[in-house]
């Protein structure tokens, strides 16, 4: 396995406190350890996990509001991007929603060992949408196509007109936007990914269902 990249070499981590960098390194070590027992992320991504998962998550930080806010990370799997954002932004109230119990056990371990405060819910997104109050921000990474994501978040979007959704997407982002416009109208900003030349980060607001 190639040596881990120095986090300080990436611009998205400029000025990040040493304690936060240490937590991220500890998180990466736990990911590599647990990956041997359960499939947390694609096995081929482990040698470059720092860029593929951690840096890929930190680039969402610039898209968050500056004031304290609540964030739900849907189908968060191994915690990307929600758990990384919780480490990077202590004022952010993060809830990780994941139906797989083993992955939630991993999330709880990382949260405990890195002293990162998050809420972890072992439940399906549909059930969470029926019971949880609407957040300020929703994230989801590698979970589903945009039309299905809009279906998942409908109760929250209708309850909070100011909801912001931040969805990293791949090369099919434009096609997903077009398909999603059959379900709802929305404003969308597209930011090029720093870690994938064909990927985009979609920021949706003013979501109105048809």
pLDDT at res. 19: 93
198 CB neighbour count, 10 Å cutoff: 11
pLDDT at res. 106: 98
pLDDT at res. 1: 36
pLDDT at res. 4: 47
pLDDT at res. 196: 85
pLDDT, tens digit only, all 210 positions of the chain: 333 444 444 666 777 889 999 999 999 999 999 999 999 999 999 999 999 999 999 999 989 988 889 999 999 999 999 999 999 998 999 999 999 999 999 999 999 999 999 999 999 999 999 999 999 999 999 899 999 999 999 999 999 999 999 999 998 999 999 999 999 999 999 999 888 888 999 999 999 999
pLDDT at res. 16: 84
pTM metric for this prediction = 0.93
**168: in domain:** yes
Backbone angles phi, psi at 141, to 5 degrees: -125, 125
Question: Which DSSP helix (H) or strand (E) runs through 175?
Answer: helix 173-180
**28: in domain:** yes
**174: in domain:** yes
**Domain extent for 132:** 7-209
- DSSP, collapsed to helix, strand or coil, labels residue 26 as helix
pLDDT at res. 195: 85
**131: in domain:** yes
Here the CATH number for the domain that contains residue 116 is: 3.40.50.150
Q: How many Å from the N-terminal Cα to the C-terminal Cα in the chain?
A: 50
Question: Which DSSP helix (H) or strand (E) runs through 72?
Answer: strand 70-74
**165: in domain:** yes
**1: in domain:** no
**35: in domain:** yes
Give CA–CA dist 131/44, Å, rounded: 36
pLDDT at res. 175: 96
How far lies 175's CA from each of 148, 178, 190, 200, 207, in Å? 13, 5, 13, 12, 18
pLDDT at res. 147: 97
Number of domains in the chain: 1
**2: in domain:** no
């Amino acid at each position: 396995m190639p040596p881990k990249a120095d986090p300080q070499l990436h611009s998205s981590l400029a000025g990040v406190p040493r304690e936060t960098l240490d937590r991220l390194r500890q998180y990466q070590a736990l990911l590599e350890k647990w990956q041997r027992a359960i499939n947390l992320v694609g096995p081929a991504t482990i040698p470059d996990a720092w860029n593929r998962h951690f840096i890929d998550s930190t680039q969402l930080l610039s898209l968050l509001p500056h004031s304290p806010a609540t964030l739900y990370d849907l189908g968060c799997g191994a915690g990307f991007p929600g758990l990384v954002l919780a480490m990077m932004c202590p004022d952010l109230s993060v809830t990780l929603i994941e139906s797989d119990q083993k992955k939630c056990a991993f999330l709880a371990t990382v949260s405990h060992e890195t002293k990162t405060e998050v809420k972890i819910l072992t439940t399906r997104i549909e059930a969470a949408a029926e019971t949880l109050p609407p957040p300020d921000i929703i994230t989801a990474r590698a979970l589903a196509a945009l039309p299905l994501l809009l279906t998942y978040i409908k109760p929250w979007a209708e309850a909070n007109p100011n909801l912001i959704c931040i969805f990293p997407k791949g090369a099919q982002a434009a096609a997903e936007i077009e398909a999603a416009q059959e379900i709802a109208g929305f404003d969308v900003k597209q930011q090029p990914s720093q870690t994938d030349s064909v990927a985009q980060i979609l920021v949706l607001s003013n979501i109105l269902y048809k």
